[in-house]
Amino acid sequence: MPYIPVGKENGTNIDIYYEDHGSGRPVVLIHGWPLSGDSWEKQVPVLLEEGYRVITYDRRGFGRSSRPANGYTYDTFADDLRRVVTTLNLNNATLVGLSMGGGEVARYLGTYGSRHVAQAVFISAIPPFLLKTADNPEGIEGSVFDGIRKAIVDDRPEFLSRFFHDFYNADIFSGKRISEQALRLSWTVAAGASAKGTLDCVTAWETDFRHDLPLIRIPTLVIHGTADRIVPFGASGKRIHEMVEGSRLVTMDEAPHGLNWTHAAELNRALLEFLGSYSSAQKAMKAPVRAT
């Protein structure tokens, strides 16, 4: 299986598992917590059919990647992403981050710039700053994160069952836009992740990305559901759009946090339209200028 080494722990490699399919302009899909790159199964075939090279990878501690005891910070996550981009020699790539994956996109671009990146996409993403503070009144009370950490420590499997209920708004969409079997699949993937990594990532959610977002100077798409119970639109998607100059905002009415499954068709249309806008712009730039 394909792995990229990103460090060592006690003499053992820390490896990131990735999949790289297709050809054409690269699209890197960065998954949400506590899932893996497999969570993009409703997007990968569509992107491949449209002629894109599609890269998914599992965040450290999740999926088939190594499960170190440390390194669950956004500086480290962004460096892991950098190694994926450089090892695979990606250029003119589109970085697509869902939920926690949006943090990688923001920190990567804020730290390493856009030399290899042509577009950015934030879906149900956690930036700019989820934690409520004196200078961030739109954030979420710290007690909420404390409660999540306690619930994970007390009974992680039980917490995950409740979490995915709200991740997909199962009380509304179960049996309609998501099956009971798909909910169980998400639980199974999440339950197999590193318990330490699952816990430590909750603290990473409190990262402040307000200095990263204004540094993004490439075409950016922000997609968020209006019924997101995990990362409320007003605390996140709305503010990302306001902080990234020239960004496009697509709100999906009544869509939950995990809209890449429940609203896959709508999301795929928005994503393909945005990806196509880059190709159209490149063709316009290369078109010959007629003398008048």
Report pLDDT digits (tens) over 56-84. 999 999 999 999 999 999 999 999 999 99
Task: Using a pLDDT cut of 90, give the percent of the chain over it.
Answer: 95
Question: Residue 36, SS3?
Answer: coil
- Determine the pLDDT at residue 133: 97
Which residue is catalytic, options 15, 186, 228, 263? 228
If you classify domain 3-286 with CATH, what class do you get? Answer: alpha beta
Which residue is catalytic, options 65, 99, 124, 194? 99
Q: What is the mean pLDDT of the chain?
A: 96
Task: Give residue limits of the domains in the chain.
Answer: 3-286
Give 290's pLDDT tier (boundaries 50, 70, 90). Answer: low
- Determine the pLDDT at residue 98: 98
Give 162's pLDDT tier (boundaries 50, 70, 90). Answer: very high
Active site annotation includes 228: yes
Active site annotation includes 99: yes
- Determine the pLDDT at residue 292: 45
The angle at the Cα of 198, spanning 9 to 184, to the nearest 5 degrees, equals: 130
pTM here?
0.95
Residue whose entry in the numeric block shows the structure tokens 């119970």? 229
- Determine the pLDDT at residue 288: 59
**Strand order in 93-98's β-sheet?**
3-9, 12-21, 53-57, 26-30, 93-98, 117-123, 220-225, 248-252
